[in-house]
Amino acid sequence: MTKSLETTDKRILNKIGAFAALFDGTFPGYKHPVLVMKTEEPGSKQKLAFQYNRVSSICYDMVNHLINDIVVMGATPLAVQDAIICGKLEKEVVTQIVNSISEACREQDCVLTGGETSEQPGIIEPGIYILTASIVGVVEKSKVIDGSKIRKGDLVLAVASNGPHTNGYSLIRALMVQKPEITEIRVGDETFLDAILKPHKCYYKSFRELFDLAELHGIAHITGGGIEGNLNRILQEDMDAIIDLDQIRVLPVFKLIRKMGNVEDADMLRTFNMGVGMTIVAKETGIEKIRKHLLDKGCNSYVIGEIAKGEKKVVYQRK
């Protein structure tokens, strides 16, 4: 684990084993740096990940989800702190967790600065691991992306997800209990099990060059609650987002869940991202520039709606 925490980042001022992490708070190039903070855990997906020996992937889920949540504000990720809570500490498992969290951070140009491992016998059953982490990022105050620039006539761009990400797993687990054969059903070129345990896509490196684009007015990370429960969080009080459901490119894994679980469309939309990992709200004149940039970075995107006068709601329509 010590090796996983080694870094050449000169902003880390203390040695491994200190009581807390020291991070240099000077930010060259920033006139008024604002810290952006978030805590997250990967939900009940982690139960499946440990059950099917996908320990590394759930660590990527957690880190990537964290980073996406601060990316929507235009932030650059800096440092992550984790917590591993278990019934019985298994050195090999904990080492794999720490190594994977550290590697996931490095891939997104940030650093794991430390954390806590808590063994709680008698409270948590042996073999159960509960993961959580917190992140700190930074953004120039004048460049914070918070939706305040969203205006009537702006378009809503969907940026594709790679699967359920980290939401809807209570429903997925219940479906797997009811119909265990679903795990081996093919979804395209992979099994259902592989499709649902694919790590949450991280959008930071694809989005960061867009942060200074004047036409970009808002970004929403589509997690639990779906488009309706997340896009509304960046809308102004007198604005609605009108979403054309016929334009959403629903991934095959969601079609299978809907069919096998006999899940109503409204419940699917409330529970899953349905293939939309992020939404970007932008002025119409900037849409093609954004789409081309994202495509060059390997992200598919397409228009699914527009902004209209309203009451801070997401309104679904079919044309």
| Domain(s) of CATH 3.90.650.10: residues in the chain | 155-317
Residue 9: which pLDDT band, with cuts at 50, 70 and 90? confident
Give Cα separations from 24 to 10, 27, 70, 71, 94 (angstroms): 8, 8, 20, 21, 28
* In the predicted structure, residue 1 carries a pLDDT above the cut 70: no
> Residues 90-138: pLDDT tens digits?
999 999 999 999 999 999 999 999 999 999 999 999 999 999 999 999 9
* In the predicted structure, residue 39 carries a pLDDT above the cut 80: yes
Residue 57: which pLDDT band, with cuts at 50, 70 and 90? very high
The two tokens of residue 27 are: 């930010």
| Section 26-32 average pLDDT | 95
Question: Where does residue 221 rank: exposed (0-12), middle (13-18), buried (19+ CB within 10 A)?
Answer: buried
Mean pLDDT of the chain: 96
How many Cα atoms occupy the beta-carbon half-sphere of 97 within 13 Å?
Answer: 25
* In the predicted structure, residue 13 carries a pLDDT above the cut 90: no
Residue 2: which pLDDT band, with cuts at 50, 70 and 90? low
Q: How far apart are CA 104 and CA 89, in angstroms?
A: 22
Q: How far apart are CA 289 and CA 292, in angstroms?
A: 5
Percent of the chain with pLDDT over 90: 93
User: What's the length of the chain?
Assistant: 319
Q: State the pTM of this model.
A: 0.95
Q: How far apart are CA 33 and CA 49, in angstroms?
A: 37
| Domain(s) of CATH 3.30.1330.10: residues in the chain | 2-143
Q: How far apart are CA 133 and CA 97, in angstroms?
A: 12
Q: How far apart are CA 192 and CA 148, in angstroms?
A: 40
* Cα end-to-end distance, the chain, whole Å: 55
* In the predicted structure, residue 11 carries a pLDDT above the cut 80: yes
Percent of the chain with pLDDT over 70: 98
| Section 218-234 average pLDDT | 98
The gap from C-alpha 198 to its chain's centroid, in whole angstroms, comes to: 13
Angle between helix 169-178 and helix 252-261 axes, rounded to 10 deg = 50
**Which CATH number is 2-143 given?**
3.30.1330.10
**Which CATH number is 155-317 given?**
3.90.650.10
